[in-house]
Amino acid sequence: MCGIAGIWGTADAATLERLLNRLAHRGPDGRGIHRVDGVGVIGSNRLAIMDPAGGAQPLYSEDRTIAAVVNGEIYNAPQLRDQLAATHRMATGSDCETVVHLFEDCDHAAFGLLDGMFAAAVVRGSRLVLARDPLGIKPLYYAWNGRLGAGLRLRFASEMHALADAPDPITAMPPGGLFDSERGPGSFSPGGAALPMPEPLADDPDEIARRLAEAVRKAVRSHLMSDVPVGVFVSGGLDSSIVAAVAREHLPQLHTFSVGCDGSEDLEKARVLAQILGTDHHEYVFSVDEVAAELPRIAHHLESYDRYLVTNAIPNWFCARLAARHIKVALCGEGSDELFAGYTYYQKYQDPAILNRELHRTTADLHQTNLQRVDRMTMAHGVECRVPFFSRDVVNLALAIPTQWKLRDGPGGARFGKWILRRAFDGLLPDEFIWGGKRNFDEGSAITTVLDAAVAKAAETAGVSLKRHRRKYEYRQLKRPAEALFHYFMTQEFGGQSPVLDGVARWSRDCIREPHEPLPPPAPPRRRGWRAWFRR
């Protein structure tokens, strides 16, 4: 795991150092650079997880004609290494070395053979190829002048702010996307679609539950691959509890982490879970004053002002900060709600086909919402967070499960989201964890009870009127004070017209509607004329 960056079109080592310095938090364990004279330079800040002593990047082919820097984890690396051993000599124990040798053999097709989360830059001679995993778990951005060949000018980095002074527009690499310095943007995913839409399974629920349990267990086991200590972020909810329980079956020692306001539901349920599993449990209680003090740093690293991301990023920030004192690798339950209809609003859907489309839409959007939040908040503290529910096999199976087995009546007649996931792990833990209800992360951690006060305090400290700021940037549609505050912090850092702000992703409010649903009311007209200008 690391932060990667590079420049192509000129071997400007000084600018690369500046990019890498802005990404230093992602990789505190070392820096490596590969230079092609007169052509380009790539580099990496390393977070040492696999082969800490010998797995430094860049990684090279045997004849050193291919170099790569990779941010991520390749979970099928053990199987790939066995296959590659017949024709290649592995120089390190790094899982990411498989990327180099696969590219040597298969070119672009190599990326489709990887089961994992990754953003990679591979150099072969004067050619640069960038690629991002099919689900967009790991981030990758580039600024390109739109030309190829001798006129190409390109910069890339793991985070947007590293490219803030790039001379060209910033583009987020799409999931399953790639950029070839000889061919331009493209995709290595079949048909260009990173997220498949498989035909629904015809199996009975017992068989589906069995297959799902097997897939999730396999995913958690593969995500424990590490040469450094591993932990799990737990909230006492279904998803993180399953991940922790399965992980504990394979690890003699497991660290678990939970945060919240004093007396919050997450803290209480996580304590009980830790006692049941016998984990080394750590918790942190945050206050209004502490949240207010941390908001500027959270805004810098989040690279978003979307209110949903902001609210959930705060407990994520404190959990990652706590975990960094004990581990470098953490697992979490992210992605399950979108795959298995866990959010309350999914229950409004009556048409299974429309619900299925909405689940597919929100899952496909995760790379620019919750997955971005998880990556930024953990990597800000030098912690790699892994998402077992987003392993290739689990996602492919989940998308094929009919919605009638995701949203269904459970014990006692209550309607449950994630019904098939609960069925798959029924008996793993007491019913309160498998069949009990739990509020969302922001509510369970009680951040919603302190957020407004923390935002007001931080705004007062910064000397900004959020109402005035919302009027000034009316076109950004800053719906809540927290959005206005985070947007203000970003404008202070980058300027109001920065390409970084233009690249901010936000939750789509345009949910897929049932045929009988009325259209939403039109947005109020924007104020115009001299009075609107004067009020700014």
Domain boundaries, the chain: 2-192, 205-288+307-452
User: Torsions phi, psi of 397, nearest 5?
Assistant: -70, -45
User: In the prediction, which pLDDT does 77 show?
Assistant: 96
User: In the prediction, which pLDDT does 446 show?
Assistant: 74
CB-count burial class (<10 Å; 0-12, 13-18, 19+) for 444 = buried
Residue 2 catalytic? yes
For the chain, 536 residues long, give each residue's pLDDT as a single digit of tens.
689 999 999 999 999 999 999 999 999 999 999 999 999 999 999 999 988 888 899 999 999 999 999 999 999 999 999 999 999 999 999 999 999 999 999 999 999 999 999 999 999 999 999 999 999 999 999 999 999 988 999 999 999 999 999 999 999 999 999 999 999 999 997 655 668 888 999 889 999 999 999 999 999 999 999 999 999 999 999 999 999 999 999 999 999 999 999 888 889 999 999 999 999 999 999 999 999 999 999 999 999 999 889 999 999 999 999 999 999 999 999 999 999 999 999 999 989 999 999 999 999 999 999 999 999 999 999 999 999 999 999 999 999 999 999 999 877 777 789 999 999 999 999 999 999 875 555 555 678 888 999 999 999 999 999 999 999 999 999 989 999 999 999 999 998 778 888 888 777 666 777 776 665 555 554 444 433 333 33
Listed residue (123, 157, 29) closest to 499, CA to CA = 157
User: In the prediction, which pLDDT does 292 show?
Assistant: 97
User: Torsions phi, psi of 113, nearest 5?
Assistant: -90, -5
Listed residue (414, 420, 415) closest to 400, CA to CA = 420
Cα distances from 474 to residues 102, 300, 526, in angstroms, run: 49, 21, 8
CATH architecture, domain 2-192: 4-Layer Sandwich (3.60)
Which pair of tokens denotes residue 335? 């992605």
Which pair of tokens denotes residue 256? 């678990």
Domains 2-192 and 205-288+307-452 in one fold? no
User: Torsions phi, psi of 40, nearest 5?
Assistant: 180, 175
CB-count burial class (<10 Å; 0-12, 13-18, 19+) for 511 = middle
Question: How is 73-131 classified by DSSP, letter by letter?
Answer: EETTHHHHHHHHTTT----SS-TTHHHHHHHHHHGGGGGGG--EEEEEEEEETTEEEEE
User: Torsions phi, psi of 198, nearest 5?
Assistant: -75, 165
pTM, 2 dp: 0.92
> Which of 2, 261, 332, 385 does the annotation list as catalytic?
2
CATH of the structural domain 205-288+307-452, one choice from 3.30.230.10, 3.40.50.620, 3.30.1540.20, 3.30.930.10: 3.40.50.620
Cα distances from 500 to residues 44, 144, 291, 491, in angstroms, run: 21, 14, 24, 9
CB 74 within 8 A of CB 87: no
Q: Which residues pair with 4 in a beta bridge?
A: 44
User: In the prediction, which pLDDT does 509 show?
Assistant: 60
